[in-house]
Amino acid sequence: MLDFTNKSVIITGGGSGIGRAASLAFAKQGALVHIVELRVEQANAVVKEIEAAGGKAKAYACDVSDQQQVAKVFAEIGTINVLVNNAGISNIGKADTTSEKDFEKVFTVNVKGVYNCLHIAIPAMKANGGGVILNMCSVAALSGIADRFAYSMSKGATYAMTMSVAKDYLKDNIRCNSVSPGRVHTPFVDDFLKKNYPGKEKEMFETLSKTQPIGRMGTPEEVAGLLVYLCSDEAAFITGCDYPIDGGFLKLNT
């Protein structure tokens, strides 16, 4: 089960957090993992981890918001069996406190970046007889979360793109799903707490952890496990779905 031997898997933003965990998880199942990352030094570090464990991976420097860069890198990769659109950025702010510059930055990376990868990868998948696309969404797309206006906008767009792609390419044997994590303990969370709550990091970490009814944040590895399953042959009957992985945040909060 969950065998990715001889399969080519692209993971954008695969150098840290959930992307890193996904890169390691797919490689463990035999995939050739292509880590497409703005910070290529992080991607190279993950490649070394994978190779040290006996897996196969390659790193590519790429800004997903630049379609020409995406086209060049994907052409270099060649065969694409699986695309995981994970690269993204966050932003703190409400509609009236989010600057135009910040709004456009989030849109350019989180929405246009996903579009660019879809635009380039889908023709390659069609030519290869099909493939699987997994988009990283968020509970922010499905529930009101304070001070996350631009980020929520971008993940709402990601959700909509997922459903559209799933519908449009059924006859091309291309499956498309998304995953919506709740709060996951990544380096981003630690940096956020250090920047916004100096001296109160531990207290705020506990507060944020308890917003999940299960009482803790998720781990990148838990999310990666779901990604691997949804992209596997065992999930061949699943398309056009979003999967919350949120410790009960969406359904059990009262």
* pLDDT score, position 243: 98
Chain segment 37-54, per-residue pLDDT in tens: 999 999 999 999 999 999
- Residue 88 and residue 34 share a domain: yes
- Residue 160 and residue 85 share a domain: yes
Total number of residues shown for the chain: 254
> Do residues 185 and 217 lie in contact, with contact meaning Cβ atoms separated by under 8 Å?
yes
Structural domain includes residue 1: no
- Residue 213 and residue 152 share a domain: no
CA distance linking residue 225 with residue 24, whole number of Å: 10
Q: What is the mean pLDDT of residues 199-212?
A: 92
Q: What is the mean pLDDT of residues 10-19?
A: 97
Count: domains in the chain: 2
User: pLDDT grade, residue 235 (50/70/90)?
Assistant: very high
Structural domain includes residue 3: no
* Pairing relationship of beta strands 56-61 and 8-12 according to DSSP bridges: unpaired
Name residue, tokens 């040290």.
52
CA distance linking residue 108 with residue 239, whole number of Å: 26
User: pLDDT grade, residue 26 (50/70/90)?
Assistant: very high
- Residue 212 and residue 88 share a domain: no
In 3D space, the residue among 249, 211, 16, 245 whose CA is nearest the CA of residue 134 turns out to be 245
Name residue, tokens 């069609």.
126
- Residue 89 and residue 66 share a domain: yes
- Residue 135 and residue 29 share a domain: yes
User: pLDDT grade, residue 254 (50/70/90)?
Assistant: low
CA 206 distance to own-chain centroid = 25
CA distance linking residue 249 with residue 246, whole number of Å: 5
Query: Which range of residues forms the domain containing residue 147?
Result: 8-182+220-247
User: pLDDT grade, residue 233 (50/70/90)?
Assistant: very high
In degrees, rounded to 5, the angle at the alpha carbon of residue 7 between the alpha carbons of residues 6 and 10 is 140
- Residue 109 and residue 193 share a domain: no
- CATH number, residue 54: 3.40.50.720
In degrees, rounded to 5, the angle at the alpha carbon of residue 143 between the alpha carbons of residues 137 and 144 is 120
- Active site residues per annotation: 151
Chain segment 94-135, per-residue pLDDT in tens: 999 999 999 999 999 999 999 999 999 999 999 999 999 999
